Every structure is written in structure tokens, then in C-alpha cells.
Amino acid sequence: MSQTITQKIFARAANRKFVDPGQSVWLNVDVLLTHDVCGPPTFDIFKQEFGPDARVWNPEKVVVLPDHYIFTANEHAHRNIDLLRQFAAEQGLPNYYDVGTERYRGVCHVALAEEGFNLPGTVLFGTDSHTCTSGAFGMFGSGIGNTDAAFILGTGKLWEKVPDSMKFIFEGRMPEYLTAKDLILQILGDITTDGATYRAMEFDGEAVYSLPMDERMTLCNMAIEAGGMNGIIAVDTVTEAFVKARTSKPYEIFTSDPDARYHSMYRYNVEKLEPVVAQPHSPDNRATVRSVAGTPVTKSYIGSCTGGKLTDFRLAAKILKGRKVAVTTNIVPATVLVASQLSTETWEGQTLRQIFEEAGCNIALPSCAACLGGPSDTVGRSVDKDVVVSTTNRNFPGRMGSKNAGVYLASPLTAAASAVTGKLTDPRDFL
Amino acid sequence: MDTIIQGNAYVLGRNIDTDQIIPAEHLVYSLSDPEEVKMYGKYALSGVPIDQAGLPEGGIPFVEEGCFSSPYTIIIAGPNFGCGSSREHAPFALKVAGAKAIIAESYARIFYRNCVDGGFVIPYETEHPLNKTVMTGDELSLDMENNTLTNLTQNVIYQLRPLGDVVNIVQAGGIFEYARKNDLMASSEA
């Protein structure tokens, strides 16, 4: 019987040869990810259900990456970090990345990739909806709540319904004005925010395989914005080179059978696509940048798990080089590594950091920051009727802080071009 | 588990995401400390734009200013309820505020799992766009044995979609209770 990649990964994790979409199975979990917002309540439930002296099923497989509310004076947020620290010490968790130490990494989905936790063929669950980002590595990654995570902590397994798969094929050569963010916003406009609910979104085609891992992660990151259980891209030489440079752990590569059954297929020619934004207040409210060009913005924000990776800043620098921003522009590197790369990576003879500083941007410390609003003192948080052009992944009402603000989701090229003019601007005006 | 839930309706639109159910700035409170837990009741559904809060007219907060619980027990909503982040604080907040069930046209996966596995609120699905006919404040009766919803104010009965496979977890009260009954609590590596 033929199967998709996602089915094959489910079959492996459920110790079966074949699984059918719609069937519920128990999966053995390879990695459980948690962070400072959902870790403490997860640990509470674990102790309550398995007993005060219970031990996690496998300390090596639990990865704790605080990233949400890090640079804030909020005392409750600090207490959550203390609770993570305490649990990690008590359980002897080797993969805890403590705040305020050299081990601190930043945004969990990007750090997982950097630290070599993303392995083809494996099953990752995380207490964060953007856990689907890791699907870029030919693996299954999906978000869950605290109760499910506590169940995994004690047992190493979880029930899940085998998803139907949808396939999205991107053909052609990527034009320089187009990014992975434009591709996923294109899809969201076509299938809407519940167009992939409970399904796998498989991305394929020569344009996808021409993208670096950062960009593939952006595609998979926003599968959840269509309601997807996971996003997934088959492994190629780019994936293997990235993984092997970071870990020597063994892994298994799965590919979809040629006659595997799909719920639906979508084909795009990237050479015919245009830069797009998602207008307030939904990620599926798509418009071409040209059709809304000239709309005034009050802030530009380049950061988060989907838009704060090295590739995102390389793209933004191409436009910001030698120019000045017209509105407050926050550059928020996802991780400590990305932040350090801003000082080493160059574009036309200047480091990215120099380019951003000379353009008048504010460079913040690595964390989730204002992507989800956060405590009131969070860098970049929207206020009043702010209109933000942002490389983040969600723009429902109030997402970046203020209920009265509007957020336009955009590629780093569009966010940078709009920062320069203070109005929504197609990046082709500068390239 | 009671098989009948009776109470007043609170009506919402489509795509109610978890930031509207409990805005991210409030996620710092403990989910186990009894005093702090009250804050989740206070801020439940506080992120919904006020003109969309309590349809059809809007302008009705789920929880009144200065209160920690809601007078509404059954939430009626359109498609894709609970989309967005994975925060279990969302169904938790609805429960703390006093909600017992939601009847929506569809749910986002993580929110749905959290409702069922955490045993917080019962997520029923319906093919009827009930948020177009039910009005905030209507008195409703949800019969879980027969999967029906009666609008006592308007004197109409609707058939709901059965809970399906998850009914056993809902009846047990959550994934842990279900797993204990079915001997599923052992570690995969034990």
C-alpha cells in the first residue's frame, strides 16, 4: 500500500507497516519541546498525575527552551523561568537552555534546528503551535497543550489521528523579489485559516528545493495558520548537509510514494506570483503588495520564528543598505546565534548589524518579543492604533499587543521596503 | 458526568483565536494557585473586539468588569473556534469563567484536543450556523445523551454532531482518567 511521508513517519512511530488517514494511533515520541509559558503548567500536571517523585520518561528527549517572556520586568514571568530551572535540575534534564547564562539560545523552533534536534523521520511534539516549523527537515512536528505534553513526559507516547495530506507544488525559479513568506501567504489566501485543519501540508517542487533551510522552515512554520497538523518537506542534499553539520545522531529518510493518496493538490508557478501581505485581522486576508501600496504604517517589525532567521535579515539588508527607515523599525533576531551572525555576515562590504544601525533600526535581544504582544514592557509591542508591517505569522485582533492595532504580515523584503517609505511598498521598487 | 447542561448562551463569530480567548500578556499567572487562577476567569474572552462580543448585537463582555466569572455557560460560535496558539490556558480560562460547553461549526485541532484531553469544556460540533440564530442570553439546554440542543427561549431543537471517538475521553473527564481506566499509563521505555 502506498503512503505519504507523514503516513510513513506515523507508521514508524506506531510500530506498524501501514497507517490509514483518519485512524487514531499511539505514537512513540522522539522529542518533547516546551518553553517558559507552557513548561511550568505542564510540569505541574505531570507531578499531579504521575506523583511528586515521578521521573520523566527519558531526560535526553525533553528539550526546554525558554524564549517567550525573557527581557521583561514582569515578576510572574521571572517566576516561570525559576520553575523551569527547578524542574530541569530536579529531573537532570541535559537539554535545558537557561536564561541569563551562556546556554540561553532564544526562539525554540529556530534553536531546535541550530542544536541538531531536528532529525528526518522523527516525531516531535511541542507545547507551541509553531512546532510544525521542524517539518522542514522531513520529520513530523506538531503543537499540543500542557495536558498532552504532561502525558508524554510520563509515558513517552501520545494518541494522534493520522492526517490526510494536501500537496502544494511550487514550480519555476524563485525571482529575487519573492520569499517563502510570499508562498505561504499565497496558499493561506487560497485555502483560508481552516483549509488544512487536521491535515498534513506537504510542500514540493523545484522552487521549494531551491530554498535554504531557513526559508523551508518559514513555509512549514505557517502550516498551523491554515489549521494544519504539520507541514513537511522531503529531505534532500541541503537538508542532509544542514543536519550532519550539527549532529551525528542516526536518522531515517522517508519519501511519499508516487501513487500516494492526497486530499488535494495545488500547483503554482513562482515566476507568476507576486509579493503579498495578509491584511488585518487574519493570515488568510491576502492582497498583493501593489494593490495596497501606499497604506501608511507606524512600525515595521522583522523577527520571530518565521521571520527572524539569518536569511530574513540578509533579505532585509539588501533593501536597507544605504537607506534610512521612516518609521520605528525593530530588528529582533530569533536566537543568540542569529544575533551574532548579524555582526559577521556582510552585504556589499558592511555587516548586517552596521546596515541596520545606519538605517536607524532598533536591534533587540533574541526572544519571541512582540510577535505575541507579551508583557506590557515588551520591545516592539503595538500600542493604540498602530499599523505594523511585520514578518511574524499571526495578525488576529490584539496579537501584537493592542486590540486597536492592525498588523500586515509580510516578507522581510516587503517589511524593509515599507520601513523605508513609511507606507506599504512592493520590494520591486527597491530591487 | 451530567448528561444535561442548561444555561445561557454567549454568541461569537468565526475564527475566534486563542489570543482573543486569553490575551498572551495574561499567560504569566499560575494555573494551580487558587488565587491566581481567578485571573483566567477575569480575562476569559477579553481579547474579543467589543463589537463582536456577545452577538448579534455585540457590546456584551463575557465577564463583566470587576468580576471573575461569567453568567454564560454555553458558548455558540462559527467555524474554526480556538485557532492560533497551542495555549491550554484558553480552554482553562473558559472553564474558570464558568463555561461548560462550546457548540461551534468547527474547531482548530490543538484547542479541540486541549478541551478533550484536559477535560475543561465539552466541544460539540454542529452543521447549523447556530451563531446566526441563537442570541446572547437565550436559555439553552444541551442533552449529551441524545446530542441535541434546545433553545428554550426560541423553542427550537437542533441536532448536533455526535462527539465520535473522543466521547470515551470526554466521559472519563480527560486523557489521564481515560488512560488509567484503560491501562495506558506505562512508559514506552519502561
Render pLDDT for B72-107 as a digit per residue (tens, 0 to 9). 999 999 999 999 999 999 999 999 999 999 999 999
Q: What is the pLDDT of residue A162?
A: 97
Please tell me which residue of chain A has the smallest CA distance to B79.
A194
Q: What is the pLDDT of residue B30?
A: 96
What would the grid cell of residue A71 be? 527581557
Is the CB of A156 less than 8 angstroms away from the CB of B189? yes
The domains located in chain A, with CATH, are: 5-267 (3.30.499.10), 277-429 (3.30.499.10)
**CATH number for the domain formed by residue range(s) B4-162:** 3.20.19.10
Single-letter residue type at B29: Y
Q: What share of chain A is helix, strand, coil (3-state, %, to 5)?
A: 35, 20, 45
The answer to whether A423 and A297 are in contact (CB under 8 A) is: yes
Is the CB of A194 less than 8 angstroms away from the CB of B108? yes
Quick one: DSSP state of residue A368? S
What would the grid cell of residue A311 be? 536569511
The C-alpha atoms of residue B188 and residue B190 are separated, in whole angstroms, by 6
Q: What is the pLDDT of residue A1?
A: 84
Q: Mind listing the pLDDT tens digit for each residue in B108-147?
A: 999 999 999 999 999 999 999 999 999 999 999 999 999 9
Structure confidence at residue B2 as a pLDDT band (50, 70, 90): confident
The C-alpha atoms of residue A32 and residue A125 are separated, in whole angstroms, by 5
Q: What is the pLDDT of residue A93?
A: 98
Which of B20, B21, B25 to mutate to probe the A interface, most A CBs <10 Å? B25
Is the CB of B176 less than 8 angstroms away from the CB of A147? yes
Q: Mind listing the pLDDT tens digit for each residue in A48-69?
A: 999 999 999 999 999 999 999 9
Single-letter residue type at A379: V
Q: Mind listing the pLDDT tens digit for each residue in A141-190?
A: 999 999 999 999 999 999 999 999 999 999 999 999 999 999 999 999 99
What would the grid cell of residue A402 be? 493592542
Helix (H) or strand (E) run with residue A10 in it = helix A5-13
Contact residues, chain B, for A50 at CB < 8 Å: 185
The answer to whether A83 and A40 are in contact (CB under 8 A) is: yes
Which of A194, A304, A395 to mutate to probe the B interface, most B CBs <10 Å? A194
Q: Mind listing the pLDDT tens digit for each residue in A280-333?
A: 999 999 999 999 999 999 999 999 999 999 999 999 999 999 999 999 999 999
Residue A427 to chain B, least CA–CA distance (Å)? 28
Q: How would you write B69-127 as a 3-class SS string?
A: CCCCCEEEECCCECECCCCCHHHHHHHHHCCCEEEECCECHHHHHHHHHHCCCEEEECC
The C-alpha atoms of residue A206 and residue A202 are separated, in whole angstroms, by 14
| One-character DSSP codes across A222-234 | GGGGGT-SEEEE-
For A212, residues 6+ apart whose C-beta sits below 8 A from its C-beta are A238, A311
The C-alpha atoms of residue A33 and residue A138 are separated, in whole angstroms, by 18
The answer to whether A182 and A276 are in contact (CB under 8 A) is: yes
Please tell me which residue of chain B has the smallest CA distance to A78.
B28
**What's the mean pLDDT when you consider all of chain A?**
98
State the average pLDDT over residues A392-412: 97
Sheet containing B139-143: which strands, arranged edge to edge? B122-125, B101-104, B74-77, B4-11, B139-143, B148-151, B156-159
What would the grid cell of residue A40 be? 511550568
Structure confidence at residue B188 as a pLDDT band (50, 70, 90): confident
The C-alpha atoms of residue A399 and residue A392 are separated, in whole angstroms, by 10
Q: Comparing C-alpha atoms, which of A117, A426, A180, A430 is closest to residue A309?
A: A180
Is the CB of B19 less than 8 angstroms away from the CB of A49? no
Contact residues, chain A, for B84 at CB < 8 Å: 129, 394, 396
In this complex, the residue of B49, B91, B185 whose CB is nearest that of residue A403 is B49
What letters, b where the CB count within 10 A reaches 16 and e where it falls short, cover A151-186?
bbbbbbbbbbbbbbbbbbbbebebbebbbbbbbbbb
Q: What is the pLDDT of residue A215?
A: 98
Q: What is the pLDDT of residue B1?
A: 62
Domain boundaries, chain B: 4-162
Contact residues, chain B, for A198 at CB < 8 Å: 109
Phi-psi region of A145 (alpha: psi -120 to 50; beta: other; left: phi over 0): beta
State the average pLDDT over residues A242-250: 98
Sign of CA dihedral B29, B31, B33, B34: positive
The C-alpha atoms of residue A320 and residue A315 are separated, in whole angstroms, by 9
Q: Mind listing the pLDDT tens digit for each residue in A176-235?
A: 999 999 999 999 999 999 999 999 999 999 999 999 999 999 999 999 999 999 999 999
The C-alpha atoms of residue B72 and residue B65 are separated, in whole angstroms, by 15
pTM of structure: 0.97
Q: What is the pLDDT of residue A98?
A: 98
The answer to whether A142 and A178 are in contact (CB under 8 A) is: no
Q: For the purposes of burial, counting CB atoms within 10 Å of the CB of A345, is it exposed (0-12), middle (13-18) or buried (19 or more)?
A: middle
Residue B28 to chain A, least CA–CA distance (Å)? 5
The C-alpha atoms of residue A69 and residue B28 are separated, in whole angstroms, by 9
Is the CB of A155 less than 8 angstroms away from the CB of B88? no
Quick one: DSSP state of residue B139? E
The C-alpha atoms of residue A35 and residue A128 are separated, in whole angstroms, by 8
Q: Mind listing the pLDDT tens digit for each residue in B32-58?
A: 999 999 999 999 999 999 999 999 999
Q: What is the pLDDT of residue B190?
A: 54
Is the CB of A155 less than 8 angstroms away from the CB of B187? yes
The C-alpha atoms of residue A372 and residue B93 are separated, in whole angstroms, by 18
Is the CB of B108 less than 8 angstroms away from the CB of A227? yes
What are the residues facing A287 on neighbouring strands? A277
What would the grid cell of residue A123 be? 516525531
Quick one: DSSP state of residue A22? T
Residue B153 to chain A, least CA–CA distance (Å)? 32
What would the grid cell of residue A97 be? 537552555
Is the CB of A145 less than 8 angstroms away from the CB of B88? yes
Please tell me which residue of chain B has the smallest CA distance to A393.
B84
Q: What is the pLDDT of residue A393?
A: 98
State the average pLDDT over residues B165-170: 92
Residue B158 to chain A, least CA–CA distance (Å)? 24
